Amino acid sequence: MQKLTSQSEWINRAAEVLPAGGFGNFDPGIVIAKGHGSHVWDEDGTQYIDYLIGSGPMLLGHGHPEVMEAVLEQLPKGMTFFANNAKGIELAEAIVDAVPCCEQVRFVASGGEADMYAMRLARAYTGRDKILKFEGGYHGMSAEAQMSLAPAVRTNFPTAVPDSAGIPQSVADQMLIAPFNDLGAVETLLAEHNDVAAIIAEPLQRIIPAADGFLQGLRDLCDKFNVLLIFDEIVTGFRLAYGGAQERYGITPDICTLGKIIGGGFPLAALGGSAEIMQHFDKSMVGSDGWLMQLGTLSGNPVAAAAGLKTMEVLRREGCYERLRSLGRTLQTMQSEALDAAGIAHQVCGDETLFDIFFTQTACLDYRSARHDDPAVNATYNDVLRANGVFKSPGKLYPSLAITEHDLEQTHAAIQAAVAAIAQP
C-alpha cells in the first residue's frame, strides 16, 4: 500500500470509512500526526501550540517523560487483565486521598460511563427515578445526559428536550431541566416533585462559573429535600485544584465523577462516593434488588492507572497549580486587553484553568445567556488563531503546564491577528 503523507489524503480516506469523515469529537478537517510537550503537528507537518490538549487530559503536556517512563515500565508486565491489579488499586487509594466525597471508587473507561452510572447509583440508593440536570450541562452520551444539552428549541422549564435521535420519550419524562445558577427554580422543582433521586451538575458548567452561593445552595437544597448531589468533575477534577472543584469551592457532593486527568491520556474514568452509597456495587451488601451491576473490559486498566498515578504525583508538587493559574491569567489578559483596545464587546468566561471568550456584552450566567451576539465573529476569531498556529476548541481554551514563554509570545501574536480580523469593518 502506498504511504499516505498529505493531510488531504487522510481526510479523503476518513470520509470513506467514518460517518461525517471523523470520530465525532472534533473538526475532521485536521488530522493530528503527533504531539510533544505543548505542541501538536498535523499530517502536513504544520505545528500548533496545543490548547485543546485532548479535550483536557494532557494537563502536563504530550509525552511527559515521567508519565512515559511509568507507562513503559507497566507495558511489559501486561496491558489489561479484566481483574484487580496493583496499579488500579493504588490509583483508587490516591483518588480517595485527594477527593473529599470519595470513600470508595469504581472504575470505568469513559466519563460518559461514569456519569451514566452515577445517575443509576443515585436511583438505586434513593429508590426514586427522576434526575434534575441543568440546561446546557454536559454529562456524556447516555440517554439521560442527552437531554437539553444544546437544545435548538427553547421550551419552558422543566421540560427536557432530547438532543439526539433514538431516545424514547420515557427517558425525557424522568428528567427535570433547570437553568444553571437559579436556586429558586431548583427549589421550586424539588418542592413540586417528591421523586427526585439526584441533582447532577458541573461545578463549572462547560465554562460558566457558578454564581456566589449557588453550589452551597444546591448542597443545602439537596439536604433539605433528601436528594443526592452529584458533581460531574470529569473536567474539573484535578484541574481546578488537586482535589477538584470540591477542594476549590469547599462544597462536598454525595457522588462525583472523574475522568480525563486521572487516566494520564489513556481511557479511564471513575465515580466515587461514601461507602454507604457505593455499597450498591456490592451484591453481598445490598442483595439482588439493590445491586447495581457494573463491569467493563478495560475498567481499571493498569497502563491507564500507571499514567494517571504518575500524572497525579507530578501535580502534587509545589507550585503546579499556582503556575497553571498564572498561565491562564496571562492568556485571559492578553485576549481581553487586545479586544478592549479594538473596542470589541466580549466576556472572558470560566476559570483561569479553563475558559474562553464570548463575543457579547451580556453576562454569561447560564446556557441561554452564554452565547455570542454573532457566532460568525467567534468562527473568524478561532479560524485566524489556528491559521497562526494556535490549536483550540471553538468554545474552550485549556492551559497546560507544558506551555512556555515562547508559546505565550506566539499566542499573543496570533491573538493580535485574530482581533485585527474581527475588527475590520
293, 315, 337: which is the final residue of a domain? 315
Residue 161 dihedral angles phi and psi, to the nearest 5°: -110, 120
Assess contact for 240 and 248: CB atoms under 8 A: yes
The residue-averaged pLDDT of 406-420 equals 98
Query: What is the rounded average pLDDT for all residues in the chain?
Result: 96
The residue-averaged pLDDT of 326-331 equals 98
Q: Please indicate, yes or no, if residue 15 is contained in any of the structural domains.
A: no
Whether 236 and 143 map to the same domain: the answer is yes
Give residue-wise pLDDT tens across range 175-195: 999 999 999 999 999 999 999
| 79 has pLDDT over 60 | yes
Whether 50 and 130 map to the same domain: the answer is no
pLDDT at 2: 54
**Active site residues per annotation:** 138, 232, 260
| CA distance linking residue 8 with residue 43, whole number of Å | 9
290, 315, 340: which is the final residue of a domain? 315
The residue-averaged pLDDT of 74-89 equals 97
| CA distance linking residue 71 with residue 372, whole number of Å | 42
Whether 205 and 182 map to the same domain: the answer is yes
Whether 48 and 70 map to the same domain: the answer is no
pLDDT at 3: 60
| CA distance linking residue 38 with residue 64, whole number of Å | 10
Which residue range is the domain that position 209 belongs to?
A: 65-315
CA distances from 413 to 390, 417, 423 (A): 10, 6, 15
**Which DSSP string corresponds to 63-96?**
T-HHHHHHHHHHGGG-S--SS--HHHHHHHHHHH
- 4's grid cell: 499516505
Q: The domain spanning residue 187 has which CATH number?
A: 3.40.640.10
Please tell me the total count of domains within the chain.
Answer: 2
Q: Please indicate, yes or no, if residue 6 is contained in any of the structural domains.
A: no
pLDDT at 153: 82
pLDDT at 424: 72
Instruction: Return the biggest CA–CA distance within the chain.
Output: 69
Give residue-wise pLDDT tens across range 17-62: 999 999 999 999 999 999 999 999 999 999 999 999 999 999 999 9
Whether 205 and 275 map to the same domain: the answer is yes
Q: Please state the pTM of the whole predicted model.
A: 0.96
DSSP letter (8 states) at residue 261: G
Confidence of residue 167 (pLDDT cuts 50, 70, 90): very high
Whether 123 and 183 map to the same domain: the answer is yes
Q: Please indicate, yes or no, if residue 177 is contained in any of the structural domains.
A: yes
Whether 366 and 244 map to the same domain: the answer is no
Q: Please indicate, yes or no, if residue 9 is contained in any of the structural domains.
A: no
Q: The domain spanning residue 338 has which CATH number?
A: 3.90.1150.10
Torsion of CA 217, 219, 224, 225, to 10 degrees: 110
Indicate if the alpha-carbon torsion angle 205, 211, 215, 218 is positive or negative: negative
Whether 290 and 377 map to the same domain: the answer is no
- 69's grid cell: 517512563
Assess contact for 189 and 132: CB atoms under 8 A: yes
Closest by Cα among 23, 367, 24, 375 to 206: 367
Give residue-wise pLDDT tens across range 194-236: 999 999 999 999 999 999 999 999 999 999 999 999 999 999 9
264, 294, 315: which is the final residue of a domain? 315
Q: Please indicate, yes or no, if residue 12 is contained in any of the structural domains.
A: no
